[in-house]
Structure 1
């Protein structure tokens, strides 16, 4: 691949395209369009924007990714997980039900900021930022998002609207609306029926485009039952013609909130893209080019931003549809973009009789797919601490809102990593007859020990956050009776020693020496040993007390003392 082909994979794809792929890509593009149109419109409304912007966004992001995205079949577009985030940015600026033109302008600027951020991260090779959301926090965040989306769409499903913000406010408003008789019977019927059709088909006949069938059924019901005259709100005719070229703009006072929202959207979009790309690459034998993926999704957002679009992400469901339909290249997405454009130019009134409750049903079906109940149950069964992290992330989104929720999720992920560094696993080791090596005496209570020597393993880098924990554990081991002569640190897991830890080690070694106890290291990695030398710790820790292996340390101790392995005295076991 040439250098220009690495930066613009679409050019390389054109030069290597196979003729036998053409028909499969055309068919897959046609099938994909049937999903892109209703979902694009529904997710635009979820973001608080006119439905037409969802179609404009779909067209431009598909073309942008086809040029700069590295994956053959990954499909981008408006996403249910980003919709509430976009709305959370727009509503505080323009208010609920504000000027649509203002909302479009701000959403376009948001897309531009997300796109530029993505491209910069890709060029700088900073894809590790996606790791700021751990799996438990992702599960909790997505569960919270699913509940938030579901509750926000219930009024639309029932044919009325609620002027409230936040999960609790919208839930209370929905209940009050029902109690006040605001629900429209015909809207409830068409909305619930559309939702039932989508969910049943997705479960029983997954290869059938359930969203398309649900939308067609809803439009047919509108024609037959004249739902527009029965109080059901319809989408109406869409503006005709090409997406208008519009430069994104916002005032200086608005850029701050937009920047905060852009960071959250970038993080969620990046995490979703990398995970989805990895899953489909594993199935198709491709390699994930994470940095180029960021450039590709950034280009897609930038392209959409100049045509009244809003931020986009990778769609796992639409990518799966493209794959199942035989897609072989990004021509599938280009075909989808072309067909949407033809619809806008030739038949903009095609979906004018689509009921708004049906769009609500499409969004609710998508929200249900965001929730990961089996994953939550698995966390409960296997690791309660990570289940607690997931639940806090869930409550952060549900009670504080989408943007504060993403902040809570990121902070939780970072704190969870910090917690593991702060209180790492520690173990006293012994020899188990018939089993090679040295093992945790907690798992092997009858492991043999060498009198006067403690083998201790500390499973983390030794840094400022855990140096005190390390010191206290060594002191506790040194205080056992009879007192040990050597405390040997199985240092293979210690990948770093910072300056704070080095000061702690120096003071600790002097304290132990005064009590007749030697601090000994085995299996210390060479880079860490060089840091020990650079810190001049060998002024107190004797240079000969560094051994390449645990076996060497044990042999040296036995040669010095003549000690032999013995079974443990259960009443005098040091704590690990």
Structure 2
């Protein structure tokens, strides 16, 4: 085996992006370079804007963009996925870091805390990837994620409004920010020139996104805003500008934070890791499907984890994927992660050779970029679709939205996770249950609520329970069967159509043992049909099959029905007219 092939094999195992570089084809380079330069036009203003959204100096957004692109290019499995500062994570970072910094805190301390947060997020994600825990991204269901993102979009919008109007507010809650904004406007703090450049930029971005999506609206607005700042002297009119960025590349820095601070950062790191993973895996899956590829969630976790660690070691903050920037790269012809390497190199050259390039960029323009991104987070059509299709999931979405607005982004994500898990538990706790009958002309046995005129066997009820039987729903199962046993006419057999029952835990097994005795004492025989082999083996291990009786377990419903008919001579009968 050649050294190149060996390196490629090792790279595909531990660093998929590096493996791609070993097999890189020269014909891809022109498209990757062009896509990388186009991407840079978005990465620079968005990176700066999202850094400020996170409560950090704008320059840290560029540091973060460079290092996360490098880290993912080497360790990420996706060929074109673009990582970077993200509008969804910005408020979560701010909510975690700014309370530790305090009012008028030292920006250097905020950067150190954010870098430590990135290192913790990256470590959590890498360990989860190594432990093959990619499924954790499924902890947030789509309805609750829609609600969470809608709430996040609204909080970002409200938080950026003062910047569009040219002033700042100091508030700790959603309602407090609204009150402070209204008070600032009514108190005469608004700067007309700031509102003109900010609102005009926002409108132009939204219009270009709608009528000419291939034109980089953010780049157009940045260029026009910088030009307007020079031509109209916006600084003299009270408009805050970005100013000259620090020159050079940040050194390797291990953030110095107190142990007490680390304990407080842990919760934020877990929340950020969860949102980042859910977003990254869903986005990578969507783009991979277009190219006919599949996604390895565990490798994605490792790749994004390394990207976060790389950013954290160079004064950066936590990152996630970006669907919009990935779409831009794809449309520009990106073939591999060399696109990201080109973008990282271009940003580095800006910092080394032209740090004053963006000095006249108005701060309200950055706020406009953030608001435009926040609007893309919201999914009003998706919310209305939930309302039309499934009211329960619509209410879950609204509850997640309210959780973000009422409790903030960090507690909001906990609310979203809790709602998702609670919804799963609710479905298992109160699963769908049905009494089955025979419908002439249709094979099999069917729910009598769907087929009211289905025939039933005299003296026999066929019952289906569409869930595993476990501690939470064992009482529900027992009450349903005892209720059937007390019904009139009194059934001699209750046949449980057990095919949907995927598990029986110890609590449920004890319940079934007691239930069988209770039904027997009342003259009703409990019978199971179509039980899965793994579940039957569990019942055998619990000692239930000998206790209930092996003859009470049938491989199919037809077998159970025919056995009952042989014993009793019962016939199928139609329900009384009008029932």
TM-score, normalised by the number of residues in structure 1: 0.98
> What is the deviation of 1:534?
1.1
Partner Cα separation in structure 1 for residue 227 and residue 481 of structure 2: 76
Partner Cα separation in structure 2 for residue 66 and residue 243 of structure 1: 20
Which residues in structure 2 correspond to 1:519-530 (within 5 Å)? 519-530=526-537
Partner Cα separation in structure 1 for residue 529 and residue 540 of structure 2: 15
In the alignment, structure 1 residue 278 sits paired with structure 2 residue 285: yes
Partner Cα separation in structure 2 for residue 242 and residue 407 of structure 1: 37
Counterpart among 184, 206, 211 of residue 213 in structure 2: 206
Q: Which stretch of structure 1 is more off in the superposition, 103-112 or 548-557?
A: 548-557
Kindly indicate whether the alpha-carbon contact (under 8 Å) linking 1:510 and 1:540 is maintained by their aligned counterparts in 2.
no
> What is the deviation of 1:5?
2.3
Deviations 1:403-424 (A, max 9, x none): 1111111111111111011000
Which residues in structure 2 correspond to 1:378-417 (within 5 Å)? 378-417=385-424
Which residues in structure 2 correspond to 1:98-497 (within 5 Å)? 98-497=105-504
Counterpart among 88, 94, 98 of residue 91 in structure 1: 98
Q: Could you say what secondary structure the match of 2:461 adopts?
A: strand
Partner Cα separation in structure 1 for residue 289 and residue 11 of structure 2: 26
Kindly indicate whether the alpha-carbon contact (under 8 Å) linking 1:73 and 1:327 is maintained by their aligned counterparts in 2.
yes
Partner Cα separation in structure 1 for residue 474 and residue 576 of structure 2: 30
Partner Cα separation in structure 1 for residue 119 and residue 576 of structure 2: 68
Which residues in structure 2 correspond to 1:499-518 (within 5 Å)? 499-518=506-525
Partner Cα separation in structure 1 for residue 410 and residue 22 of structure 2: 43
Partner Cα separation in structure 2 for residue 96 and residue 504 of structure 1: 58
Task: Please give the root-mean-square deviation of Cα atoms over the aligned residues, in Å.
Answer: 1.0
Q: Which stretch of structure 1 is more off in the superposition, 546-555 or 47-56?
A: 546-555
Kindly indicate whether the alpha-carbon contact (under 8 Å) linking 1:523 and 1:549 is maintained by their aligned counterparts in 2.
yes
Partner Cα separation in structure 1 for residue 144 and residue 104 of structure 2: 32
Q: Could you say what secondary structure the match of 1:233 adopts?
A: coil
Q: Could you say what secondary structure the match of 2:281 adopts?
A: helix
> What is the deviation of 1:539?
4.1
Q: Which stretch of structure 1 is more off in the superposition, 114-123 or 238-247?
A: 238-247
Q: Could you say what secondary structure the match of 2:286 adopts?
A: helix
Partner Cα separation in structure 2 for residue 123 and residue 61 of structure 1: 19
In the alignment, structure 1 residue 559 sits paired with structure 2 residue 566: yes
Q: Could you say what secondary structure the match of 2:350 adopts?
A: helix
Kindly indicate whether the alpha-carbon contact (under 8 Å) linking 2:436 and 2:446 is maintained by their aligned counterparts in 1.
yes
Kindly indicate whether the alpha-carbon contact (under 8 Å) linking 1:112 and 1:248 is maintained by their aligned counterparts in 2.
no
User: Residue in 2 aligned with 1:48?
Assistant: 55
> What is the deviation of 1:570?
5.8
> What is the deviation of 1:536?
1.1
Which ranges in structure 1 are unaligned for 5 or more consecutive residues? Answer: none
Partner Cα separation in structure 2 for residue 469 and residue 33 of structure 1: 59
Deviations 1:405-452 (A, max 9, x none): 111111111111110110000000011111111111000101111111
In the alignment, structure 1 residue 72 sits paired with structure 2 residue 79: yes
Q: Could you say what secondary structure the match of 1:2 adopts?
A: helix
User: Residue in 2 aligned with 1:5?
Assistant: 12
Q: Could you say what secondary structure the match of 2:437 adopts?
A: strand
> What is the deviation of 1:96?
3.8
Partner Cα separation in structure 1 for residue 267 and residue 82 of structure 2: 26
Partner Cα separation in structure 2 for residue 538 and residue 105 of structure 1: 62
Partner Cα separation in structure 1 for residue 406 and residue 561 of structure 2: 56
Kindly indicate whether the alpha-carbon contact (under 8 Å) linking 2:122 and 2:309 is maintained by their aligned counterparts in 1.
yes
Runs of 4 or more off by more than 3 Å in structure 1? none
Kindly indicate whether the alpha-carbon contact (under 8 Å) linking 2:17 and 2:79 is maintained by their aligned counterparts in 1.
no
In the alignment, structure 1 residue 27 sits paired with structure 2 residue 67: no
> What is the deviation of 1:541?
1.2
Partner Cα separation in structure 2 for residue 264 and residue 438 of structure 1: 46
